Homo-oligomer: A and B are copies of this chain.
């Protein structure tokens, strides 16, 4: 879970950011017990994350090393990534041999999600993880939780060396504006996603929202990441050009029908419109430079975006073939101004990779 949703349309405005979250706790139906798919996905990126962390450390050699995980949710996946990063940097310190080895830096690990996320469950494992890293790798690790939407500032200026975000950036900050006509009638009535019956205005509205959100994400991180710092981002995407490919929408069709059946039994159980953006995870995330969104980001933020990975794909449970591109970005310097406390123009150079082919069919 990465960010809250708000429906900006008349009569349906609601700050979902304050209430929406992954299922808390450790029970049978909790996110912690039902996030093995995300775990596997993150594990395939482990070496890439370790490489990025090591590169930043080698380049900057900071006394302390700060890592941020955006959209940590309430499971254990985030702490697994933390362990990989700490061990990777620790090995880099020891790798120079006894004569030139250096002590590892102190690590600050900032675990972010919405304020409604179940941080208590994350923190319950924190002492164990910190203790293990101290015992095994001699690393001093300080864990903290940072509540808030990553579509905005979260950390102090120039304070983070490495930003990671896995399976989160396909969540938009809110249901897009523009999903009602001039008479305030819903354009996508009866659907919670971009379907074959949606008017062209619907995918256009989602695209605008993604552009706005991702722009703000980059500007925020641009202010927070130190010069020479890096980002590793992964997100779900569609592989086909067709927004309404049934392979992409089958899951949402089934979910939509189930929710409709529930609502017919319990009136106003859930605001449908608020769930619409779940479809954005496949429909609107930039996948390559032919995507209008990526071109827009290129133009406005001066990023260099290129594919440099293989043609790996993952097969999703719904039968669709999903791309899961990885965005690696390096902050190359302070090119922008901006007042203190405001948002700075980022100098981010992005490097988009497709995820390495996954060996296991899910």
Q: How far is the CB of A304 from chain B (nearest CB, A)?
A: 30
A123 — which chain B residues lie within 8 A by C-beta?
A: 115, 117, 119, 145, 147
Closest to A224 in B: B142
In whole Å, how far is A2's beta carbon from the nearest beta carbon of chain B?
Answer: 15
Complex contact B119–A115 (CB within 8 A): no
Pick the contact of A127 from B24, B115, B118, B138 — CB < 8 Å?
B115
A115 partner, pick from B24, B66, B115, B124, beta carbons under 8 A? B124
How far does the alpha carbon of A147 sit from the alpha carbon of B120 in the complex, in Å? 9
Chain B residues with Cβ below 8 Å from A126 are 115, 147-148
Interface residues of A, CB < 8 Å — how many?
A: 42
B residues less than 8 Å from A124 (CB atoms) = 18, 115-116
> Which residue from B103, B120, B340 sits with its C-beta under 8 Å from A118?
B120
- Tell me if A351 counts as interface (CB < 8 A to partner B): no
Cβ contact of A341, chosen from B127, B140, B154, cutoff 8 A: B140
Name the interface residues of A155-172: CB closer than 8 Å to any CB of B.
155-157, 159
Q: Which of A92-149 contact B (CB under 8 A)?
A: 103-106, 108, 110, 115-120, 123-124, 126-127, 130, 138-140, 142-148
**Given contact pairs A108-B156, A110-B144, A119 touches B120 in the complex (Cβ within 8 A):** yes
The 8 Å CB contact of A153, one of B117, B140, B153, is: B140
A28 within 8 A of B: no
Q: Are B106 and A340 in contact (CB under 8 A)?
A: yes
Asked if A44 CB lies within 8 Å of chain B CBs, one says no
**Within 8 Å CB of A241, what residues of B?**
none
Closest to A125 in B: B115
Q: Which of B24, B118, B146, B341 contacts A144 (CB 8 A)?
A: B146
Given A118-B120, A127-B115, A339-B103, verify A156-B142 contact (CB < 8 Å).
yes
**Interchain nearest-CB distance for A103 vs B (Å):** 5
Nearest chain B CB to A318 CB, angstrom units: 32
Chain B residue at smallest Cβ distance from A107: B156
Q: What CA separation (Å) do A143 and B123 show in the bound complex?
A: 16
Chain B residue with Cβ nearest A65: B156
Interface membership of chain A positions 309-350, coded 1 if the CB is closer than 8 angstroms to chain B and 0 otherwise: 000000000000000000000000000000111000000000
Nearest-neighbor residue (CB-CB) of A139 within chain B: B341
Smallest CB–CB gap between A309 and chain B, Å?
34
Assuming A63-B340, A64-B156, is B145 touching A119 (CB within 8 A)? yes
Apart from A17-B127, A144-B146: 12 A-B pairs, beta carbons within 8 A: A64-B159, A103-B339, A104-B341, A108-B156, A115-B127, A119-B119, A123-B147, A127-B148, A139-B341, A140-B341, A142-B156, A143-B147
- What 10 A-B pairs are tightest by C-beta distance, nearest first? A140-B341, A123-B147, A145-B145, A144-B146, A64-B156, A144-B144, A115-B123, A103-B340, A119-B119, A120-B120
24 A-B pairs whose Cβ atoms sit less than 8 Å apart in the complex: A18-B124, A66-B156, A104-B341, A105-B340, A105-B341, A106-B157, A106-B340, A106-B341, A110-B144, A115-B123, A117-B123, A119-B123, A126-B147, A127-B147, A127-B148, A139-B341, A140-B153, A140-B341, A142-B146, A142-B148, A142-B155, A142-B156, A144-B144, A144-B147
Q: Which residues of A contact B (CB under 8 A)?
A: 17-18, 24, 63-64, 66, 103-106, 108, 110, 115-120, 123-124, 126-127, 130, 138-140, 142-148, 153-157, 159, 339-341
